[in-house]
Homo-oligomer: A and B are copies of this chain.
Amino acid sequence: MASGKILVAQGGGPTAVINQSLVGVVLEARRHLGIRRVYGAHHGVRGIVNEDFVDLTQETSGNLEGVAATPAAALGSTRDKPDLAYCQEMFKVLRAHEIEHFFNIGGNDSSDTVRIVAEEAARAGYALRCMHIPKTIDNDLVLNDHTPGFPSAARFVAQAFAGANLDNAALPGVYVAVVMGRHAGFLTAASALGRKYPDDGPHLIYLPERSFEVDKFLADVKIVYERLGRCVVAVSEGIHDAGGQPILAQLAKVLERDAHGNVQLSGSGALADLLCEQIKDKLGIKRVRGDTFGYLQRSFLGCVSDVDQREAREVGEKAVQFALWGQVNGSVAIKRSGQYAVNYELLPLQAVAGKTRTMEDELIAASGTDVTEAFHRYLRPLLGSGLPDAFRLRPNPVPKVLGR
């Protein structure tokens, strides 16, 4: 006899809307007569191995809606990357609790975990439906137009650069800000959407899809600074040289050679600081400031795309619908329709699991330091409604009297 029990878990880096997907699963599942219990795993796959579950059937709709609108992972997340043995332990627990459907919200690694657990269940002849629900601010899942979590983080980055550009115009100098995204540059590229006027920054955008040379970078900054008297730069944390070596490691080595000692550079502000040092030292520019957006870009309470919220909710809902009516395993994917609507499809787990998408060539400008119109057209609808706008005074110069 069917237990009517399902389990949902969250994995990897939190986002502004991952709880929408959680609540989408819970509320949709609670509508179905066949589902009698909705469990959640504390801290993702680790909570499964540890049998650390909460009963989400006993949670008010009001509180669930509050949680949905709250960033980060309400169930707790984990960085554990399960191997086969780990997944076998997970399966033991799922079977012991008579779980019939397993929903895992996460990125590449989470989809791979779902794939392995599904294979274990199939091998054991146990009827377990396994669904991967997409989530990542990196936007690096293949076969998805985009992933929930990315639009809200992109909105934060665009608004942050819009403000930083204004600050830099008020007190001119060079400003370098480092954005998350080790392999995919989508989030760094979102900085371009913060521009309004023709001379607004970011004036230079460095993505991990292109190799980075410090000398070229300095030359780029010099040209902008000489033209505008200021320069705003967006840099992905994942920038690397032509050989694939991270720039952080390369610059760190320079420092080590200078100091003949063991300088620790793993702190998160290091890359921005090192690039600023290069600009000060090599270009002789005085006012050079570096920021690292850090955890704010994925967790800030109060900067979210309503489109992202809606879609994150829907991928959770669709996962339950696919599982119950389709009775197959898979990964829910977002497909774009026109400009702008979306459809949801169920992909085979192996089509998504463990694969990494990076920015397509047509989204990156030929210069390698900007995005194309196609990227603007791609990203703008995802940022949602009510984006704040920036205004400047129009020039009405007053003739000089002393004229010195």
Contact = CB atoms under 8 A, between A and B. Distances in A.
B268 A268 contact: no
Interface stretch (A48-56, A236-244, A368-376): A48-56
A167 B268 contact: no
Interface of A: 10, 13-14, 39-40, 50-51, 53-56, 58-59, 63, 66-67, 69-79, 92-93, 96-97, 159-160, 162-164, 166-167, 169-171, 175, 177, 194, 255, 258-264, 267-270, 272-274, 276-277, 289-296, 298-303, 387-398, 400-404
Copies in the complex: 2
A392 B302 CA distance: 16
A393 B301 CA distance: 17
Nearest to A271: B269
A56 B255 contact: no
A277 B270 CA distance: 12
Given A163-B301, A169-B72, A259-B263, A396 B273 contact: no
12 contacts: A14-B170, A66-B391, A69-B391, A79-B171, A259-B260, A259-B262, A267-B290, A268-B269, A268-B290, A291-B296, A293-B296, A302-B388
Contacts of A401: 51, 93, 96-97
A64 to B, nearest CB: 8
Given A260-B261, A261-B258, A397 B53 contact: yes
Contacts of A162: 301
A301 to B, nearest CB: 4
A169 B19 CA distance: 14
Contact of A394 (B51, B63, B194): B63
B299 A163 contact: yes
A267 B289 CA distance: 7
Nearest to A158: B301
A50 B295 CA distance: 42
A162 B302 CA distance: 10
Contacts of A73: 170-171
Nearest to A92: B402
Contact of A273 (B78, B270, B301, B391): B270
A54 B396 contact: yes
B258 A262 contact: yes
Contact of A170 (B77, B159, B274): B77
B298 A167 contact: yes
A289 B299 contact: no
B55 A397 contact: yes
Among A71, A96, A293, residue most surrounded by chain B Cβ atoms (within 10 Å): A71
A53 B393 CA distance: 12
Contacts of A51: 398, 400-404
B160 A296 contact: yes
A301 B159 contact: yes
Contacts of A390: 70-71, 301
A49 B147 CA distance: 53
A261 B264 contact: no
A50 B401 CA distance: 11
Given A171-B78, A392-B70, A54 B397 contact: yes
Nearest to A281: B264
A396 B58 contact: yes
Nearest to A395: B54
A263 B169 CA distance: 30
A163 B298 CA distance: 8
Nearest to A39: B398
A211 to B, nearest CB: 24
